[in-house]
């Protein structure tokens, strides 16, 4: 799939690290390093602007290494970039650790997954079909 992109950062375009990778790393595009204090959140620009085809979205997701090792994650994971959005891709990072985290220019801060999606059409009804699960949710099938 071809996707138009404008790159105003001084970093290479996002790319797949391996043949089986689903996501491409997004890098911070900063003129100065930024410190995220514990429980602080910030929108971090990437310098990237994309034009997705209709029927395709881009999802901004956390990087597992940052989450596991540093407690840094994407607050609205996954963040959705719609096909008609033309602004800069920004990443809402939050520091869930007890220590300050410094974001440097070029740091890999999130990953981007491009995916096709369907558009739903609602059919209003009075009753839904029965299932074994029924109304059970939020742990109704057990925790182990």
Span 129-141, pLDDT tens digits = 999 888 877 777 7
Residue 135 located in a structural domain: no
Residue 126 located in a structural domain: no
Residue 90 located in a structural domain: yes
Task: Count structural domains, the chain.
Answer: 1
Q: What is this structure's pTM?
A: 0.89
Cβ–Cβ contacts within 10 Å for residue 89, how many? 22
Residue 144 located in a structural domain: no
Q: In the numeric block, which tokens belong to residue 70?
A: 């540093």
Could you list the residue range(s) of the whole structural domain that residue 81 is in? 4-116
Beta bridge pairs of residue 49 = 6
Question: The domain spanning residue 25 has which CATH number?
Answer: 2.70.40.10
Tokens 């869930």, residue?
A: 96
Residue 122 located in a structural domain: no
Residue 15 located in a structural domain: yes
pLDDT of residue 111: 98
State the chain's maximal CA–CA distance in angstroms.
57
Residue 78 located in a structural domain: yes
pLDDT of residue 16: 97
- Per DSSP, helices labelled H in the chain are 64-70
Rounded-to-10 torsion of CA 82, 93, 111, 14: 90
12-71 pLDDT, tens digit per residue, is 999 999 999 999 999 999 999 999 999 999 999 999 999 999 999 999 999 999 999 999
Residue 46 located in a structural domain: yes
pLDDT of residue 136: 76
Cβ–Cβ contacts within 10 Å for residue 58, how many? 24
């Amino acid at each position: 799939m071809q996707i138009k992109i404008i790159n105003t950062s001084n970093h290479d375009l996002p790319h797949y690290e391996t043949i089986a990778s689903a996501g491409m790393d997004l890098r911070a595009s900063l003129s100065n390093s930024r410190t995220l204090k514990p429980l602080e959140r910030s929108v971090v620009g990437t310098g990237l602007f994309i034009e997705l085809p209709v029927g395709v979205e881009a999802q901004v997701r956390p990087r597992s290494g940052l989450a596991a090792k540093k407690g840094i994650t994407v607050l609205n994971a996954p963040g959705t970039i719609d096909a008609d959005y033309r602004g800069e891709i920004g990443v809402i990072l939050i520091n869930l650790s007890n220590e300050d985290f410094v974001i440097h220019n070029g740091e890999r801060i999130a990953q981007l997954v491009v995916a096709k999606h369907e558009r739903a059409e609602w059919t209003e009804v009075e009753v839904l079909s029965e299932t074994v699960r029924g109304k059970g949710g939020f742990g109704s099938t057990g925790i182990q």
